Copies of this chain bind each other. A is one copy, B any other.
Amino acid sequence: MKDPIDSALSRREFVQAASAGALAAAAPALVHAASSSGAADKAAVLARIPAMHAENLKRLQEWIALPSIAAENRNFLQGPEHMAALARQAGFADVKLIPTSGKPGVFGHLDAGARTTVAVYFMYDVKQFVPEEWSSPPLEGRLVQKEGLGAVCMGRGAVNQKGPQNSFLSALLAFKATGRRLPVNLVLVCEGEEEIGSPHFGQIVETPEVLARLKSCVGVLLPEAAQQQDGSIQIELGAKGVVELELVSSGEKWGRGPQKDVHSSLEAQVDSPSWHLVQALNTLVEKDGHTPAVEGFFEHAKPLTPAQQQMISTYAATVPEAVMKKELGVQRWVHDLNWQDSLLRLYSQPTINIEGLVGGYTGPGGKTVLPHKAVAKIDMRLVPDMTLTDTLAKLKAHLARHGFADIEVNMTGGYDPTQSDPDSKFIKALLASYRKLGTAPIALPRSPGSWPGYRFTSAPLNLPACGFGLGNGTGAHAPDEYYLIDSTSPAVRGLDGAVASFVECLYALT
């Protein structure tokens, strides 16, 4: 996914370092866990999975070989057509492409005659990649041995999200292969622009046919590889919203300063759009260089509930601060907070961040120019009940009020916060599935990163939406991305275990 996986990775990596193997003893054999449900159907389906291992892996490798990259306009329409074919093969009916102003979505449903209907969110696109940076060809999905972990499938999209999605489809194929009916009905909603911020996902969800089907659902499941290398699992009950934008100060829009780069000696005679930008930026945070100072920024920011705070306390106790600090290269948390308070901030506070500064001469050494333009790349993270629209309007009003109405605010992407009710049947069922599978998930109020789940969790759908899936992988957006196939670790599940976890989950959701 665009954003949450990146951020989660930073945190995941220290968990594994700190407590690898801690949960291993608690993990019973899958088949044992499954058979204890007493459902003969489920046992038959689960028993079938190992025999399908080779075809399930091959399907993943073939999918990795076809990268759809929205930012590069790569493999459209091949990507969505392939996605549609995979969905049909897995048993979805009425599978079709949903046109948008951008890349098409894919939609389908699987009516099993069950009482309960569950939506599944897929993405068929992947992040850009630079083959030279990889130790294994990124489109081959080769099996590579990882010390202490086992054989992993390495390739772009392996964990983000083709691997977990393929495992979910493999679970459906196991039902099909054994002639068993699914215990729930399914609605598949898939987009192809997740990696560029899902700019047209709203058009997919709002397509009447899609919306009608979604309204029948109890929740939205995102297949993922949720296990750290130590087997631990954090389940994030939402995500911050995000607004990405550029603040552009230019002589042209300002009506002061030059309209092209001029010699820097002219700074004595001519205004500087760069200083203008610096002064505008300076108004956006308090003296602490951190707290957003945009008027009304916190107006709709809900504090964490005591229950949410408790989740973070529980989580904080499982994660060694020193390892986290080392991993991030950080000596002190903001405001010199202690570990737990810093995590409370991480999960509760909306932010204004400078992603990048670009102005004038950016090469080595100096160049005596007075630049006509300077740009700050900004992201703002939003917590419930802040919205993109309201926050953007507040930023613009703030700039105008402080004398910077000329500074362009060019939004490049974003979405509202996502929040799912931990007391909903859907979330409870997912947590129960994890426990039944022998893991002890730690719930967190939300991801500090962002994903466009608000399309599900906000009106008109108001559905809980949450990731689920055993298995392990890492490297989303990075080289050497992988998804674990044959686990040699007792703590984490490979491909077959991941497929089985989805079977378990589907029964838990009935």
On A, residues with C-beta under 8 Å from B are: 2-3, 6-7, 9-10, 71, 240, 242, 244-246, 251, 255-260, 262-272, 274-279, 281-282, 285, 287, 289-290, 328-334, 342-343, 345-362, 365-372, 374, 377, 379, 381, 412-413, 447-450
Please, could you name 27 A-B residue pairs with CB atoms under 8 Å apart, sorted by A? A240-B265, A242-B368, A244-B368, A255-B332, A256-B332, A260-B328, A262-B328, A264-B381, A265-B346, A265-B381, A266-B328, A267-B352, A268-B348, A268-B349, A268-B381, A271-B334, A272-B354, A275-B281, A275-B290, A275-B354, A278-B281, A278-B354, A354-B359, A362-B377, A365-B412, A366-B412, A367-B377
Q: In angstroms, how far is the closest chain B Cβ from the Cβ of A3?
A: 6
Q: List the B side residues contacting A274 at CB < 8 Å.
A: 354, 357
Contact of A331 among B255, B260, B412, B448 (CB under 8 A): B255
Q: In angstroms, how far is the closest chain B Cβ from the Cβ of A194?
A: 14
- Can you tell how many copies of this chain the complex includes? 2
**Are the CB atoms of A333 and B263 closer together than 8 Å?**
no
**Are the CB atoms of A264 and B355 closer together than 8 Å?**
yes
Closest partner residue, chain B, to A343 (CB atom):
B269
**Are the CB atoms of A329 and B260 closer together than 8 Å?**
yes
**Are the CB atoms of A289 and B276 closer together than 8 Å?**
yes
Whole-angstrom distance between the alpha carbons of A334 and B354 in the complex? Answer: 28
Asked, given contacts A251-B329, A331-B256, whether A370 binds B346 with beta carbons under 8 Å apart, the answer is no
Whole-angstrom distance between the alpha carbons of A266 and B27 in the complex? Answer: 32
Contact of A265 among B7, B285, B365 (CB under 8 A): B7
Q: In angstroms, how far is the closest chain B Cβ from the Cβ of A376?
A: 8
Q: List the B side residues contacting A332 at CB < 8 Å.
A: 255-256, 271
Contact of A374 among B282, B354, B360, B361 (CB under 8 A): B354
**Are the CB atoms of A263 and B334 closer together than 8 Å?**
no
Asked, given contacts A263-B449, A354-B374, whether A345 binds B275 with beta carbons under 8 Å apart, the answer is no
Closest partner residue, chain B, to A450 (CB atom):
B265
Q: List the B side residues contacting A362 at CB < 8 Å.
A: 356-358, 362, 377
**Are the CB atoms of A367 and B354 closer together than 8 Å?**
no
Closest partner residue, chain B, to A287 (CB atom):
B279
Closest partner residue, chain B, to A2 (CB atom):
B368
**Nearest 5 A-B pairs (CB), nearest first?**
A259-B329, A274-B354, A265-B448, A357-B359, A356-B360
Whole-angstrom distance between the alpha carbons of A379 and B366 in the complex? Answer: 8
Closest partner residue, chain B, to A362 (CB atom):
B358
Contact of A330 among B242, B245, B257, B334 (CB under 8 A): B257
Asked, given contacts A251-B329, A276-B289, whether A269 binds B354 with beta carbons under 8 Å apart, the answer is no
